[in-house]
Amino acid sequence: MSEHDTTLLPELIRDLIKERRASRRLKLLKYSFWGTGLLLIAGAVLVEHLQLDEVDEAKQITAVIQVRGEIADGAEANAAALKKAIGRAFDDERAKAVVLKINSPGGSPVQAGQVFDEIKRQRGLHPKVPVYAVIEDLGASGAYYIAAAADEIVADKASLVGSIGVTAASFGFVDLMNRVGVERRAYTSGAHKAFLDPFQPKNPEETVFWNDVLKQTHQQFIQSVKTGRGDRLKDADHPELFSGLIWTGEQAKQLGLIDKLGDVDYVARDLVGATSQVDFTVKDNAFDRFAKRLGASAAQQLSMALGFSGVSLR
- Residue 214's domain is classified under what CATH number? 3.90.226.10
pLDDT at residue number 138: 97
Q: Which amino acid is at 70?
A: E
pLDDT in tens, 258-273: 999 999 999 999 999 9
Q: Domain limits at 41? A: 1-54
H/E run at residue 100: strand 95-104
- Cβ atoms of 102 and 65 within 8 Å: the answer is no
Higher per-residue pLDDT: 256 or 174: 256
For 147, how many CA atoms within 13 A lie in the half-sphere containing its CB? 32
Whether residue 312 lies inside any domain: the answer is no
Burial of 152 (C-beta count, 10 Å sphere; 0-12/13-18/19+): middle
Q: What is the mean pLDDT of the chain?
A: 83
Same domain, 45 and 138: no
Same domain, 30 and 75: no
Whether residue 314 lies inside any domain: the answer is no
Higher per-residue pLDDT: 218 or 5: 218
pLDDT at residue number 230: 94
Question: 214 in helix, strand or coil?
Answer: helix
For the segment 29-40, the average pLDDT, to the nearest whole number, is 63
Higher per-residue pLDDT: 242 or 18: 242
pLDDT above 50 (res 306): no
Contacts 24+ apart (CB under 8 A), 214-219: 214/166, 214/167, 214/168, 214/311, 217/109, 217/166, 217/311, 217/313, 218/165, 218/166, 218/242
The number of folded domains in the chain is 2
Same domain, 18 and 164: no
pLDDT above 70 (res 102): yes
pLDDT at residue number 49: 52
For the segment 239-252, the average pLDDT, to the nearest whole number, is 95
User: Which positions are annotated as active-site residues?
Assistant: 141, 193
CA dihedral 279→281→282→286, nearest 10 degrees, is: -80
Per-residue exposure over 93-109, b if at least 16 CB sit within 10 Å of its own CB, e if not: ebbbbbbbbbbbbbbbb
pLDDT in tens, 115-150: 999 999 999 999 999 999 999 999 999 999 999 999
pLDDT in tens, 271-295: 999 999 999 999 865 555 555 555 5
pLDDT at residue number 246: 96
Rounded CA-CA distance 250/157 in Å is 5
For 161, how many CA atoms within 13 A lie in the half-sphere containing its CB? 31
For the segment 155-168, the average pLDDT, to the nearest whole number, is 93
Same domain, 113 and 237: yes
For the segment 165-175, the average pLDDT, to the nearest whole number, is 84
Share of residues in the chain with pLDDT > 90 (%): 56
Whether residue 311 lies inside any domain: the answer is no
pLDDT at residue number 56: 55
Same domain, 223 and 85: yes
pLDDT at residue number 299: 46
Whether residue 42 lies inside any domain: the answer is yes
- Cβ atoms of 113 and 224 within 8 Å: the answer is yes
Same domain, 80 and 133: yes
Same domain, 62 and 185: yes
Same domain, 14 and 123: no
Same domain, 16 and 28: yes
Same domain, 49 and 113: no
Rg of the chain taking only CA atoms, in angstroms: 28
Same domain, 204 and 87: yes
Rounded CA-CA distance 118/140 in Å is 19
Q: Is the pTM of this model over 0.85?
A: no
pLDDT at residue number 103: 97
Vertex 30 angle, CA 28 and 35, to 5°? 90
pLDDT at residue number 22: 73
Whether residue 141 lies inside any domain: the answer is yes
Whether residue 112 lies inside any domain: the answer is yes
